[in-house]
Amino acid sequence: MARMVTTQRKVISTAAAWLVGFLIFFPILWMVLASFKTELEAFAIPPSFLFFHWTTENYVTVQERSDYLHHALNSILIAGGSTLIAMLIAIPAAWSMAFSPTKRTKDILLWMLSTKMMPPVGVLVPIYLIYRDFGLLDTRTGLIFILCLGNLPIVIWMLFTYFKEIPKDILEAARMDGATIGRELVYVLTPMAIPGLASTLLLNLILAWNEAFWTLNLSTLEAAPLTTFIASYSSPEGLFWAKLSAASTLAIAPILVLGWFSQRQLVRGLTFGAVK
């Protein structure tokens, strides 16, 4: 089916794409703008878009009131640690399921996914009590552990789909070529799996970074990551929109930058296998 693509049509679709892109990006933009406003201007009606008193006082207050770097470090340790451990467990698991599946492989995969269908709040009380008894409340270890377990099913599923895409023939060809299991891993499998591993790692990092339910409920100060840091600006004394925005901007900045630079990898990862 050949279709004439006129300049006019191109202009319209480009404009529409920009509009949709802007709509999606708008909440983040608005938050960043609000973080540079005074508290009064932040909820003024009608809102001012660009013409207001630009100020950085919110950032100063936020840094004075709570230690951003402490929370950021917690976020990095918790997201990074849980991702790393999840990958270490998931790689061999997905590997064996992709390359030597048994009759029950499908069931196990479904069972793992089904754990993600349960609302986490359903097990909050037992987990909280276990954590209390084991002294894991408000510890990085505890948060790493719970986030790792929470994301494990998704990580295994993603890796499983990647590994399944690697044709078995190629592994057999390597075996015929005289590669031992170790060399097969180093020279053939890993290079072919790297794009999949990278996008899984990235996605898991973002999921862990943004996770709020468990981090809010199981940490207070010591181990609290940036999610708790943001939440602390919504207090009974009232909402401080500008400060909340400043805190949120600070909290999402690292992951936003990471996502920006790895978007090509991420998109490839999320649509992998969809189109052959």
Partner 1 sequence: MGQITLQGVQKSFGPVHIIKGADLDIADGSFVVFVGPSGCGKTTLLRLIAGLEDVTGGAIMIDGKNVVDVPPAKRGLSMVFQSYALYPHMSVRGNIAFGLKMAGLPKDEINKKVEGAAATLNLTPYLDRKPRELSGGQRQRVAIGRAIVREPKAFLFDEPLSNLDAALRVQMRLEVTRLQKQLATTAIYVTHDQVEAMTMADKIVVLNAGKIEQYGSPLELYERPANLFVAGFIGSPKMNFVTGEEAKQQGAATIGVRPEHLKVERDGQGWQGTVSVAEHLGSDTFLYVDCGPLGMLTARYVGELGLHPGDKVSLTPEPGRIHRFDEGGKSIRA
Interface residues toward partner 1, by CB under 8 A: 167, 169-170, 172-180, 183, 187-188, 191-192
> Distance between alpha carbon 121 and the CA centroid of its chain, in Å?
20
Tokens coding 101: 């599946």
d(CA 117, CA 120): 9
| CB nearer to partner 1: pick between 67 and 177 | 177
| Contact criterion met (CB below 8 Å) for 109 and 160 | yes
Asked whether 263 and 202 are in contact (CB, 8 A), the reply is no
At closest approach, how far in Å is the CB of 191 from partner 1?
Answer: 4
- Report the alpha-carbon distance of residue 248 to residue 274 in Å, rounded: 34
- Count Cβ atoms below 10 Å from residue 146 Cβ, excluding itself: 22
For partner 1, the closer of residues 86 and 174 by Cβ is 174
**Shortest separation between residue 177's beta carbon and partner 1, angstroms:** 4
- What's the burial of 114, exposed, middle or buried (CB within 10 Å: 0-12/13-18/19+)? exposed
* Residue whose CB is less far from partner 1, 190 or 234: 190
**C-beta of 65 vs 175, nearer to partner 1:** 175
Q: Compare residues 125 and 176 and give the one whose CB is closer to partner 1.
A: 176
The count of C-alpha atoms lying within 13 angstroms of the C-alpha of 158, restricted to the half-sphere facing its C-beta, is: 26
Q: How far is the CB of 17 from partner 1 (least distance, A)?
A: 29
Shortest Å, Cβ 174 to partner 1? 7
Beta bridge mates, 238? 235
Minimum distance of partner 1 from residue 183's CB (angstroms): 6
CA–chain centroid gap for 164, Å, is 23
By beta-carbon proximity to partner 1, the closer residue of 188 and 251 is 188
Provide the minimum distance between the beta carbon of 273 and partner 1 in the complex, in angstroms, as a whole number: 15
